[in-house]
Amino acid sequence: MNNSIKILRPPIHGDDRGFFSETYNKRTLLEAGVDIDFVQDNHAFSAEKGTVRGLHFQTPPYAQDKLVRVVRGAILDVAVDLRVGSPTFGRHVSAVISAKDWNQILVPVGFAHGLVTLEPDTEVLYKVSNYYSPEHDKGLLWNDPALGIDWGIDPASAILSEKDRRHPTLAELPEYFRYDEKDDR
């Protein structure tokens, strides 16, 4: 399986009544090179613009792939490569994911995931490939200067949980994931 970030855009069919869209179709994902069995759906609501969630990940054997979409509002979605030995270790990918653009982002195992809301009353839905495990729930400090992430907000005004304020930096993070070249084929 290709272990890379992917931006997906499900077709949307609209008329004067509204629209219809298949937001998840296993066959379509297989055609795009994505072969993941999702086991859980999560729904997050953020009332305020500037709400930061992340950077989160779960460690093996409960590591998770995530397929993220926005049904109301917009987010800047960020994924950081935590796979030691990867040519992109410690680097990030970011993309605006919004209800207006009807796009999705696939964040594979081995990446920390986070977001900041760009609009108030934003709702995010995401599928995960493994069940939540509190013992394997970890994080990376969202504003670690070594990551060079431009979140587009003043860090002093970011709305965060206490847990997300205390995550370790990349330099302090244990080696949870190892890069394997065959994953990128």
Assess whether 56 carries a catalytic annotation. yes
Set 56, 92, 113, 167: catalytic member: 56
Active site residue 176: no
Mean confidence (pLDDT) of the chain: 95
pLDDT for position 184: 62
Question: Which of 24, 126, 132, 179 is labelled catalytic?
Answer: 126
Residue 164, H or E segment: helix 162-165
pLDDT in tens, 21-33: 999 999 999 998 8
CA distances to 36, 44, 65, 131, 156 from 39, in Å: 9, 17, 10, 7, 36
**What mean pLDDT do residues 46-66 have?**
98
Dihedral angle sign, alpha carbons of residues 31, 35, 40, 46: negative
Backbone angles phi, psi at 28, to 5 degrees: -60, -40
Evaluate whether 151 touches 116 at the Cβ level (below 8 Å).
yes
pTM: 0.93
Q: What pLDDT score was predicted for residue 181?
A: 77
Environment class of 139 (CB within 10 Å of its CB; exposed 0-12, middle 13-18, buried 19+): buried
